[in-house]
């Protein structure tokens, strides 16, 4: 969190100070409220003024607005220990949304935080505010502020989502329950669970869009797709830096596995849940005994819509879905098939 020592222009410093006053008022009001009691927790600044480094941030993005005190990211922590209080995030954000002027609120859930061990989801939220002019009174807040929820940097919903209640902690492997909330709060239905893995990269946006569409169309609005194996460094990129015989390793670190289907995020291996129940949880040989529907249903949908290729059932009940050979995707090469079994 930077200060404004790098800002030397007096007027720019006054501008930032004016913009930050709105945030100081909101934070003080939350922490001192009697009608909204945080108990042993408090709202604190996580990321304040942004000091540009190299390339300028995208216009009107959080980083762009944070240069001028118009975007501040907060966490809710225990007063005594300083540990995160993730169960409070949604309530605080919703209270601010209801009672305080602002332009946008974004709840951010993150499983990639390097300071947190294991699969724990960390939480924060960001508030955007307008430019506060010198006279203060002519400040123009949005009459209909925007809201959003993100997960590992991807849009999860165009609404504020209480992830603790809506989808548990996204821990665990193939089986188990996810405790979905019965009130679907306009969320997206594909999340990443591949951090720290060889295929730990995000997938192509086209593939992500098709996963979102297929999961909802086949299994309903309360379905969820967890990508446990996503994109990886392409074989072409690896050989460009490690030599023509390289296959999987770069500087003794494994950066690829398997075939080229997952290269550059053109494929995803997924666990699918319907209403919190794992689809295809029981796997024996080539027989699938899913209690919430079968993976055959999404295979049929994928192929009928010419989305790409499908491989199933993977050990543990997963399914491989890619955009090779589909509309807008890369052409199948080297004897690739449209379907196969593991």
Average pLDDT score over residue span 55-76: 92
Average pLDDT score over residue span 128-157: 86
pLDDT given at position 45: 95
Judged by average pLDDT, the poorest of 75-79, 95-99, 147-151, 318-322 is: 147-151
| Predicted confidence band of residue 93 (pLDDT cuts 50, 70, 90) | very high
pLDDT given at position 293: 61
Average pLDDT score over residue span 28-46: 85
Instruction: Enter the pTM of the model.
Output: 0.52
- The secondary structure element, H or E, covering residue 255 is none
Q: What is the spatial distance between Cα 216 and Cα 189, in angstroms, rounded to a whole number?
A: 8
pLDDT given at position 26: 94
State the average pLDDT for the chain: 82
pLDDT given at position 292: 46
On the question of pLDDT at 127 being above 50, the answer is yes
pLDDT given at position 188: 58
| Predicted confidence band of residue 220 (pLDDT cuts 50, 70, 90) | confident
pLDDT given at position 174: 34
pLDDT given at position 334: 87
On the question of pLDDT at 187 being above 80, the answer is no
| Predicted confidence band of residue 54 (pLDDT cuts 50, 70, 90) | confident
pLDDT given at position 280: 61
pLDDT given at position 285: 37
Q: 174: closest CA among 267, 268, 278?
A: 278
Decide if 125 contacts 73 (C-beta within 8 A): yes
145-184 residue pLDDT tens:
998 888 767 676 777 877 654 444 343 333 333 333 322 2
Decide if 46 contacts 73 (C-beta within 8 A): yes
CA distances from 234 to 85, 208, 231, 262 (A): 39, 18, 9, 8
Can you tell me whether residue 91 is helix, strand or coil?
helix
On the question of pLDDT at 190 being above 90, the answer is no
pLDDT given at position 294: 79
| Predicted confidence band of residue 250 (pLDDT cuts 50, 70, 90) | very high
Higher pLDDT, 77 or 37: 77
Judged by average pLDDT, the poorest of 23-32, 254-263, 287-296 is: 287-296
260-314 residue pLDDT tens:
999 999 999 998 887 767 776 444 333 344 444 678 889 999 999 999 999 988 8
Decide if 3 contacts 49 (C-beta within 8 A): yes
101-124 residue pLDDT tens:
999 999 988 765 444 444 456 789
pLDDT given at position 25: 94
pLDDT given at position 311: 92
Write down the residue that tokens 């029981």 correspond to: 282
On the question of pLDDT at 47 being above 80, the answer is yes
Nearby residues of 227 by Cβ (< 8 Å), 6 or more positions away: 190, 191, 192, 193, 194, 203, 211, 268, 269, 270
């Amino acid at each position: 969190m930077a200060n404004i020592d790098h800002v030397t222009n007096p007027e720019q410093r006054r501008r930032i100070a004016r913009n930050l006053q709105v945030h100081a008022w909101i934070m003080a009001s939350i922490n001192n409220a009697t009608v909204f009691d945080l108990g042993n927790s408090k709202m604190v600044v996580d990321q304040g003024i942004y000091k540009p480094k190299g390339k300028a941030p995208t216009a009107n993005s959080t980083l762009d607005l944070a240069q001028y005190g118009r975007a501040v990211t907060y966490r809710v922590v225990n007063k005594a220990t300083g540990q995160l209080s993730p169960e409070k995030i949604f309530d605080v954000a919703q209270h601010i949304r209801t009672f305080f002027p602002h332009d946008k609120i974004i709840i951010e859930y993150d499983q990639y935080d390097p300071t947190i061990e294991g699969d724990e989801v960390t939480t924060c939220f960001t508030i955007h505010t307008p430019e506060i002019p010198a006279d203060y009174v002519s400040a123009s807040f949005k009459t209909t502020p925007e809201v959003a929820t993100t997960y590992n940097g991807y849009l999860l919903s165009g609404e504020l989502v209480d992830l603790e209640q809506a989808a548990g902690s996204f821990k665990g492997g193939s089986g188990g329950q996810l405790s979905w909330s019965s009130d679907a709060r306009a969320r997206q239905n594909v999340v990443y669970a591949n951090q720290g893995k060889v295929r730990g990269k995000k997938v192509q946006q086209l593939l992500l869009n098709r996963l979102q569409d297929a999961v909802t169309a086949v299994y309903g609005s309360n379905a969820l797709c967890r990508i446990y194996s996503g994109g990886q460094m392409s074989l072409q990129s690896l050989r460009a830096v490690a030599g023509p015989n390289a296959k999987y390793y770069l500087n003794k670190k494994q950066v690829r596995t398997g075939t080229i289907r997952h290269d550059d995020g053109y494929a995803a291996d997924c666990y699918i849940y319907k209403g919190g129940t794992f689809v295809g949880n029981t796997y024996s040989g080539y027989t699938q005994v899913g209690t919430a529907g079968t993976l055959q249903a999404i295979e049929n949908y994928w192929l009928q819509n010419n989305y790409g290729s499908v491989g199933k059932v993977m050990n543990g009940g997963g399914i491989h879905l890619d955009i090779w050979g589909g509309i807008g995707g890369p052409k199948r090469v080297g004897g690739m098939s449209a379907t196969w079994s593991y």
